[in-house]
Structures are given as structure tokens and as C-alpha cells.
């Protein structure tokens, strides 16, 4: 082994040849330059930027630089939020939306992972699935709402379908790409050792595809949050989406932003939960 | 980020762009054709392409605005809520549309003020229909009073449909809580829920009602104008415009009133047998409205609303609307109902009490 590494050295580094005359420079310590933009924790920076942005926002409202109708200051939004908590409507709206997101996302994701897996494994499924996904994914689900009403009514079923369909396609793409991206040599090795088909799937493909699938979950969870607003356009009395739509219709901008704040907090919570899931599921890395 | 994830994010970018394009499309508005003469002080009017804004279209086309020294530009919007928002944001100097709770919330913030009337529900005029599904009708749902306890389709809370159900409930001595209103955002989705039998009834614009009845999926139980007349829409501007450009508002209202007078001369006439007749300029005005609303003249002719010839408001009803929304918890209780109107631009507003 050392012989082979020794041989090409003069060929790859012809430049240092003249310098090699001076023996002192050969042992000169060189500062480590390969930082590679390593991310270091800078908690205070994010916090400070956040505090400054909020303070500037509040000040622009207080100083009447911006009309509170156009951009309600953070204090007004918190006040609106407090009102929602006080009369119990926040809990009722959250419960309704979480149920819809939970059921819709679970159904859409389960179906998406199954289809994506099938497409990653079987060529026939891939041949059918890829063009179908390309054709159906770009259809705006909102445009189909009237049809969903006819097919599924105005109850919870159409809301699950809106969220589920929206989540399904990105999950299919993420799962399919993840399965497709599992190193071939690992799969071939398992097959060469005559590993049972199911074991190859369970012990090689699934863990190998998991990072990609989980990244897909991150996207689809955010999509579910976005779609809960469109889902609740149809006959919803309660729900964060219904609340946001209603506040918009009534031009109550502080309540509108309070609802949006709840949605983004919900996104943050789901993101944190997914990070925890990633940590436990991807321990093997 | 590993290459696989990156590839995936790239794939999703398509979806995000599609969502963005859709959002832009929803917010888009189109400008109507410019007037023949583009002289004088520029005023922008936010309108919906509906017959109820006919006096604006007529005044625009017949040059009444330019005769007052105004260069009016009409900007067409797709939903009633957007019109007062356009006036609030300063994108339009005037707005004309149906009155919703959203409008009164903006009025409460002091950004819009009513100066004249648009269309109103009036006995004998078929503007909005009470509809029952065929199945509900066969099961005995045959009069508007029976809306109590029914499940109905509406657009949103705070819409004109919501208010019309409020008026109906008040008339027949029940409460809006006795009607289960299902919010569906827009009329096409209301129709979908109605046809699918998801609701038992709804209030629908005349064109939709006629079509559903012709298809056999709906029965018309009556007309809102006959049961509960009310001030459906109004012409409004911002208090700021009234303060700083009072003469402009006066000119604009004068031109608008001429349009309203023409409208009534042409359409609001009865022949000798008491049937609706054709007044002077009937065909010309019908063509103007058809062009502005992008509808066939025959369809426009059967769905013409009542518009007061002088733009006079049913002031009592504007007060009643404010109080209704306040009682429903949709509008700030601090809003003084009369602060939403400036009665000084039109003479002889219709009010029974001070």
C-alpha cells in the first residue's frame, strides 16, 4: 500500500519541487485553513435579530408611521390572541384544525409512502406512477373544491381529502427519490448474500431511504398546515383556517395575524417534533 | 443537506411556484376599457362587474364624468370585500359594491364613508331568491318562513347573504342561530353543496336561481325584495377624500345620479298593462351594461336590480345593518351607525326617523 501512494506524488505536485531545495520551509507549520463554513451555534444572533425586528414593528405602529389597520402592531396581535384564549375559541379552533391535519396528513402520508416505495422498487409501478404524479401533482386542489363538495359533501371527509391529496404527492416524490437513492451496491450485496427479499427491503432499503422520507415529512407537514386553510373554506364552523378566513373577510387584521401566528407556532411545534423523530429514527448514522 | 434531499427540495419548488402563481392570480384585477376622452381630474373607481353598478357604467360610457371635468378610470374587482379595501389602501378614490360586515369594520376604522345608494332589494324586483332544494321542497319546505331550523349555504359570515337571513329571521320572529349557515366562500361552491343535497336551501342571485330552477334542482320560494326590502349596496369614498376634495365628490355624485336617472328612465318603466316596458335608450344602455358585466344582453335584461334614480339611501336600513352586525359580534360595538354615512351629497335620503 505505501508504495502505490508514494509513486504518483511527484506527478500531482510538481510545483513544490523548486521549494524542496530549502529544507526549512518543508516543516513550517501551516495555519488550518479548511474551515469549510462549519456552522457554529450563535443563539444570541437569532434572538437579537428577532427582538430588533419586533421592536421596530411595534415602534412603527406606536409612532403612527403605519396605520394599525394595515399592519397591526405585535401588542395588538397578542391582545387579540389573549381574547381568543380567554373566550375558549382558540382551543376549539385548534382542536378542530389539529384533528383535520392529523387525519388528513396521516392518510395522505401513509398512501404516499406506500406508493413511493412501490415506485422505487418495481419498474412497472414506476412506469405508471411517474407520469401520473407529474400529471396530477400540479392540479391546484383549491380548484377542485367544488368537485370535492359533490363527491364527499361538506363534512369532514372533503377536508381530509383536501389535506390528504395535498400531502400525498410530495410524499410520493420524496419516498420514491429516497428509495431510488439507496446505494445500489448495498442492495446488491444483500441480494448476493441471498438475503430474503423482505429483509433487503426492511434492513437495507428502508433505513437507507429514511432520511429522504423524513425530509419529505417536513415538507408535507408544512403543506398540511397551508392546506388546512383551504380545507376549512368548505363549511367549517371552527378551525384556525376558518378563523383566519373569517377575520380576513371581516377585515379584522389583528385577529387575522393572531391566527397566522398560531399557524406558524403550530409549524414550529411540528418541526420540532419531526427533529426529535429524526434523532431517534436515524440514530444508526 | 444531502444531495437526495436537495433534489427533493428542487422538485417541490415547482409546487411552491404554482401556489405563488395561484395567489397572484387570485389577487389580480383588470382594468376596464378606458373612456373615450381622457381629460380632467383623475378619479379611480373600484367596481364589481355586476348590473347593480350600472349607473357607473352608464355615466362612464355616456361621458357624464368627463362633462363634470373628471377623468374616471374603472377598476374591476372580483369580490365585494376587495372594493372597500381598495378605497382604504388608496388604490381607488371611490368604491361601489354590496355592504358587508367587512365594510362596516373598515368604516369603524374611519377609512370609508357612504355617499350615495347603489342597488336595493325592493318589492317587485327579483334580485335575490329564496331557494329550496327539490328534495326539501317535496318534503314540505315551501315558504321562506320555514327557513327556521334549516341548513343553508352561504358565502361567509358577514356577507350580504348572512344579513338577508338575519332580516328573514327578524321578520318571522326567530334568530339567526336557528338557521345553520354553512360558509362555502363563493357562489359556485354554494351551488355545488346545494346540488349535492348538502344543504336544504340558500339565498342566491337571480341568474343562479333561475338556472337551478330550470335544471329542476331548485324551487324558488320567493324574492328577498318582496319579503325584506333593504339597502343592498352603496357608493362610498374615504373621509379623507371628502375632507380634501369635496368638490370632486360632488361632481362624481352628480354624474352618478345622471347615470342612475338614465337607468331608471330606460328600465324602470311600466307599459299600459302594468308590465315592465322599455324606456328611452333601452337597447343602448342594455348593451353598455352587457359589455361592462361581460354577460349576454338577454341575461342582463332579466336580472336588472332596483337602483334609486337619485342615489338616495335607505338610511334606516344602513343603521339596522350596523346594529345587526354589532349584535352578531362581527363589528366593533363602538361604531356609531350614522358615522358610516355622509348624507350631504344627495338630497332627500329616505329615512323615517332622525
> All 3 cell numbers of residue B322?
350596523
Which uninterrupted H or E stretch holds B128?
strand B128-133
B321: cell is: 345593518
Question: Locate cell 400525498: which residue?
Answer: A168
Position B14 pLDDT exceeds 80: no
Residues contacting residue A78 through CB under 8 Å, at least 6 positions apart: A258
Judging contacts by C-beta atoms under 8 Å, the chain B residues touching residue A158 are none
Q: What percent of chain A has pLDDT over 70?
A: 91
For residue A196, CA distances in Å to A114, A178, A190, A200 come to 20, 21, 9, 6
What was the pLDDT predicted at A269? 93
Cβ B18 vs Cβ A143: under 8 Å: no
Q: Nearest residue of B to residue A152 by CA position?
A: B196
Domain ranges across chain B: 1-28, 32-122+233-340, 128-227
A-B C-beta contacts closer than 8 Å? 114
CA atoms in the 13 A half-sphere facing the CB of B324: 26
Residues of A in contact with B157 (CB under 8 A): 246, 249-250
| Mean pLDDT (whole number) for B213-223 | 94
Give the number of other Cβ atoms within 10 Å of residue B350's Cβ.
Answer: 15
Give pTM, 2 decimals: 0.78
Using DSSP bridges, classify how beta strands B128-133 and B201-205 pair: parallel, antiparallel or unpaired. antiparallel
| Digit-coded pLDDT (tens) for B295-317 | 889 888 888 899 999 999 999 99
pLDDT of residue A53: 92
B124 contacts B225 by C-beta, under 8 angstroms: yes
Residue B272 is given by DSSP the state: T
- Computed over every residue of chain B, the mean pLDDT equals 87
The span from the CA of B124 to the CA of A20, in Å, is: 106
User: In chain A, which residues have their Cβ closer than 8 Å to the Cβ of B111?
Assistant: 69
ipTM, two decimals, is 0.71
From chain B, the residues in CB contact with A212 under 8 A are: 4-5, 8
Closest to A226 in 3D by CA, of B23, B26, B190, B153:
B23
Q: How many residues does chain B have?
A: 354
> Is the CB of residue A145 less than 8 Å away from at least one CB of chain B?
yes
Tell whether the model's pLDDT for residue B218 goes beyond 70. yes
Q: How far is A39 from chain B (nearest CA, A)?
A: 13
Number of domains within chain A: 1
Unique residue bearing C-alpha cell 373607481: B45
Q: What is the pLDDT of residue A30?
A: 83
Chain A nearest-CA distance from B313, in A, is: 23
**Which residue bears the cell 362610498?**
B236
- Based on C-alpha coordinates, what's the Rg of chain A? 27
Q: Which candidate in B1, B5, B9 is best for mutational testing of the A interface (most A CBs within 10 A)?
A: B5
pLDDT value at residue A282:
84
Please list every residue in chain B whose beta carbon sits closer than 8 Å to the beta carbon of residue A244: none
The per-residue pLDDT of chain A, averaged, comes to 86
Q: Do A173 and B12 touch (CB under 8 A)?
A: yes
Q: Does the beta carbon of B330 lie under 8 angstroms from any beta carbon of chain A?
A: yes
The answer to whether B242 and B114 have CB atoms below 8 angstroms apart is: no
**Predicted confidence band at A26 (pLDDT cuts at 50, 70, 90)?**
low
Q: Do A245 and B109 touch (CB under 8 A)?
A: no
Round to whole Å and give the CA distance between B152 and B198. Answer: 9
Which residues of A fall within a CB distance of 8 Å from B81?
Answer: 248-249, 251
Q: Between B22, B106, B193, which is nearest A154 by CB?
A: B193
Cβ within 8 Å of residue A64, ≥6 positions away? none
- Name the residue in chain A with its Cα closest to that of B180: A237
Give me the mean pLDDT over the A146-167 stretch.
Answer: 88
Tell me: the pLDDT tens digits for B244-268?
A: 999 999 999 999 999 999 999 999 8
What is the rounded distance in angstroms from the CA atom of residue B321 to the CA atom of residue B159? 11
pLDDT at A40 over 80: no
Interacting residues of A73 by C-beta distance below 8 A, sequence separation 6+: A57, A58, A60, A61, A62
Report which DSSP code applies to A203.
Answer: I
Mean pLDDT (whole number) for A59-88? 88
Mean pLDDT of A268-280: 91
Report yes or no: A183 at the B interface, CB cutoff 8 Å: no
Three-state DSSP class for residue B183 = strand
CB contact under 8 A, A249 and B156: yes
Contacts of A246 in chain B (CB under 8 A): 156-158, 183
What's the number of CA atoms in the CB half-sphere (13 Å) around residue A275?
6
Q: B231, B218, B211: which is closest to B303 by C-alpha?
A: B211
Q: Which residues contact A82 (CB under 8 A, 6 or more apart)?
A: none
Cβ-contact A205, A130 below 8 angstroms: no
Q: How far is A1 from chain B (nearest CA, A)?
A: 32
Do B102 and A246 make contact, defined as CB atoms within 8 angstroms?
no
Distance CA A117, CA A201 (A): 10
Q: How many helices (H) and strands (E) does chain B have?
A: 15, 13
CATH of the domain at A257: 1.10.3720.10
pLDDT at residue A2 in the model: 45
Of B4, B101, B156, nearest to A181 by CB-CB distance is: B4
Q: What is the DSSP letter of A66?
A: S
Q: Tell me, rounded to whole angstroms, the distance of Cα A72 from its chain centroid.
A: 29
B99-113, B268-282, B332-346: range with lowest mean pLDDT? B268-282
* CB–CB contact A242 B183 (8 Å): yes
Domain with A106, as residue range(s), is 73-281
**Which pLDDT score, from 0 to 100, does residue B352 have?**
61
Contacts of A145 in chain B (CB under 8 A): 189, 192
- Cβ pair A138, A253 in contact under 8 A: no
pLDDT single digits (tens) B144-200: 999 999 999 999 889 999 999 999 999 999 999 999 999 988 888 899 999 989 999
Contact B185, A249 (CB under 8 A): no
Residues in a beta bridge with B73: B44
Could you count the other beta carbons within 10 Å of the beta carbon of residue B134?
16
Cell of B55: 349607473
Give residue A29's pLDDT. Answer: 84
Q: Write down the number of H helices and E strands in chain A.
A: 14, 0
User: Is A19 inside any structural domain?
Assistant: no
pLDDT at B223: 95
**Which of B88, B102, B195 is closest, CB to CB, to A250?**
B102
Given a cut of 50, whether residue B20 has pLDDT beyond it is no
pLDDT at A20: 47
Which cell numbers hold the place of B81? Answer: 370585500
Decide which of A38 and B41 is more confident. B41
A17 inside domain: no
Per-residue confidence (pLDDT) for residue B4, from 0 to 100: 46
Q: Does B118 touch chain A (CB under 8 A)?
A: no
Which pLDDT belongs to residue A213? 94
pLDDT(B7) > 70:
no
CB–CB of A150 and B184 under 8 A? no
Closest chain B residue to A213 measured between Cα atoms? B5
How far is A141 from A135, CA to CA, in rounded Å?
Answer: 13
| Helix pair angle (A156-180, A206-231), 10° resolution | 150
Closest CA to B250 of B75, B4, B70: B70
| CATH entry, B32-122+233-340, from 2.20.25.90, 1.10.3210.10, 3.40.190.10, 3.40.605.10 | 3.40.190.10
Q: Produce one character per residue of A185-218: b if its CB has 16 or more CB atoms within 10 Å, e if not.
A: eebeebeeeebeeeebbeebbeebbbbbbbbbbb
Q: Is A147 on the interface with B (CB under 8 A)?
A: yes
Q: Which residues pair with B117 in a beta bridge?
A: B234
Of B7, B8, B111, the CB nearest to A69: B111
The partner residue sitting opposite B8, judged by closest CB among A177, A248, A250, is A177
Instruction: Read off the pLDDT band of B353 (50, 70, 90).
Output: low
Residue A44: the pLDDT is 85
- With an 8 Å Cβ cutoff, are A249 and B157 in contact? yes
Choosing among A93, A235, A238, which should be mutated to test the B contact, i.e. which has the most B CBs within 10 A?
A235
Matching residue, cell 332596483: B306
Specify if A39 maps to a domain: no
pLDDT of residue A5: 45
Q: Are B72 and B43 in contact (CB under 8 A)?
A: yes
Torsion, Cα of B138, B139, B142, B148 (10° steps): -150
Partners of B76 in the β-ladder: B30, B47
User: Is A142 part of the contact surface with chain B (CB cutoff 8 Å)?
Assistant: yes
* Cα–Cα distance measured from residue A159 to residue A107, given in angstroms and rounded to the nearest whole number: 12
d(CA B91, CA B221): 41
Q: Does domain B128-227 have CATH number 3.40.190.10?
A: yes
DSSP B314: B
Interatomic CA distance for residues B103 and B196, integer angstroms: 32
User: Is residue A64 domain-resident?
Assistant: no
Amino acid at each position: 500500500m505505501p508504495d502505490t501512494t508514494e509513486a504518483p506524488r511527484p506527478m500531482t505536485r510538481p510545483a513544490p519541487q523548486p521549494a524542496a531545495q530549502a529544507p526549512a520551509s518543508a516543516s513550517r507549520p501551516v495555519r488550518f485553513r479548511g474551515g469549510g463554513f462549519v456552522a457554529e451555534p450563535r443563539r444570541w444572533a437569532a434572538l437579537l435579530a428577532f427582538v430588533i425586528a419586533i421592536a421596530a414593528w411595534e415602534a412603527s405602529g406606536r409612532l403612527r408611521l403605519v396605520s394599525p389597520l394595515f399592519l397591526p402592531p405585535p401588542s395588538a396581535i397578542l391582545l387579540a390572541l389573549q381574547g381568543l384564549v380567554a373566550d375558549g375559541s382558540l382551543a376549539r379552533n385548534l382542536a378542530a384544525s389539529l384533528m383535520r391535519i392529523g387525519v388528513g396528513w396521516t392518510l395522505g402520508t401513509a398512501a404516499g409512502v406506500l406508493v413511493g416505495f412501490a415506485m422505487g422498487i418495481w419498474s412497472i409501478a414506476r412506469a405508471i406512477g411517474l407520469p401520473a404524479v407529474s400529471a396530477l401533482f400540479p392540479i391546484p386542489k383549491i380548484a377542485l373544491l367544488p368537485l370535492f363538495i359533490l363527491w364527499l359533501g361538506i363534512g369532514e371527509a372533503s377536508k381530509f381529502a383536501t389535506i390528504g391529496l395535498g400531502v400525498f404527492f410530495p410524499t410520493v416524490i420524496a419516498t420514491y427519490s429516497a428509495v431510488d437513492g439507496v446505494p445500489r451496491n448495498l442492495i446488491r450485496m444483500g441480494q448476493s448474500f441471498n438475503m430474503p427479499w423482505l429483509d433487503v427491503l426492511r434492513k437495507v432499503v428502508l433505513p437507507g431511504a429514511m432520511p429522504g422520507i423524513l425530509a419529505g415529512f417536513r415538507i408535507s407537514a408544512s403543506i398540511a398546515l397551508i392546506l388546512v386553510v383551504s380545507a376549512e373554506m368548505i363549511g367549517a364552523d371552527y378551525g384556525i383556517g376558518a378563523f383566519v378566513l373569517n377575520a380576513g373577510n371581516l377585515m379584522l387584521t389583528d385577529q387575522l395575524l393572531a391566527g397566522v401566528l398560531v399557524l406558524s407556532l403550530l409549524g414550529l411545534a411540528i418541526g420540532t417534533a419531526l427533529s426529535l423523530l429524526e434523532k431517534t429514527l436515524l440514530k444508526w448514522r | 443537506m444531502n444531495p437526495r434531499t436537495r433534489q427533493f427540495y428542487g422538485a417541490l419548488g415547482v409546487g411552491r411556484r404554482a401556489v405563488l402563481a395561484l395567489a397572484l392570480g387570485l389577487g389580480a384585477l383588470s382594468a376596464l376599457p378606458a373612456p373615450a376622452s381622457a381629460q380632467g381630474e383623475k378619479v379611480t373607481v373600484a367596481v364589481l362587474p355586476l348590473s347593480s353598478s350600472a349607473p357607473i357604467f352608464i355615466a362612464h360610457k355616456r361621458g357624464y364624468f368627463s362633462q363634470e371635468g373628471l377623468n374616471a378610470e374603472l377598476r374591476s374587482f372580483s369580490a365585494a370585500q376587495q372594493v372597500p379595501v381598495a378605497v382604504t389602501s388608496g388604490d381607488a378614490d371611490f368604491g361601489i359594491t354590496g355592504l358587508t360586515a367587512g365594510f362596516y369594520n373598515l368604516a369603524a376604522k374611519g377609512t370609508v364613508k357612504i355617499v350615495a345608494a347603489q342597488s336595493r332589494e325592493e318589492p317587485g324586483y327579483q334580485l335575490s331568491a329564496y331557494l329550496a332544494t327539490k328534495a326539501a321542497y317535496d318534503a314540505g319546505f315551501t315558504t321562506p318562513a320555514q327557513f327556521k331550523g334549516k341548513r343553508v349555504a352561504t358565502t361567509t359570515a358577514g356577507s350580504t347573504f348572512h344579513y338577508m337571513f338575519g332580516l328573514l329571521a327578524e321578520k318571522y320572529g326567530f334568530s339567526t342561530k336557528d338557521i345553520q349557515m354553512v360558509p362555502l366562500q363563493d357562489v359556485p361552491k354554494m351551488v355545488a353543496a346545494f346540488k349535492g343535497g348538502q344543504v336544504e336551501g340558500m339565498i342566491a342571485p337571480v341568474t343562479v336561481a333561475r338556472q337551478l330552477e330550470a335544471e329542476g334542482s331548485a324551487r324558488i320560494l320567493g324574492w328577498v325584495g318582496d319579503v325584506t326590502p333593504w339597502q343592498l349596496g352603496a357608493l362610498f369614498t374615504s373621509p379623507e377624500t371628502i375632507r380634501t376634495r369635496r368638490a370632486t365628490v360632488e361632481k362624481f355624485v352628480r354624474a352618478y345620479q345622471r347615470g342612475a336617472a338614465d337607468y331608471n328612465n330606460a328600465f324602470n318603466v311600466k307599459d299600459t298593462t302594468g308590465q315592465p316596458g322599455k324606456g328611452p335608450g333601452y337597447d343602448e344602455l342594455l348593451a353598455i351594461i352587457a359589455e361592462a358585466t361581460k354577460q349576454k344582453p338577454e341575461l342582463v335584461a332579466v336580472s336588472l336590480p332596483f337602483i334609486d334614480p337619485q342615489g338616495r339611501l335607505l338610511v334606516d336600513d344602513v343603521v339596522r345593518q350596523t346594529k345587526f352586525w354589532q349584535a352578531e359580534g362581527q363589528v366593533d360595538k363602538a361604531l356609531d351607525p350614522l358615522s358610516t354615512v355622509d348624507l350631504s351629497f344627495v338630497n332627500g335620503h329616505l329615512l323615517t326617523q332622525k
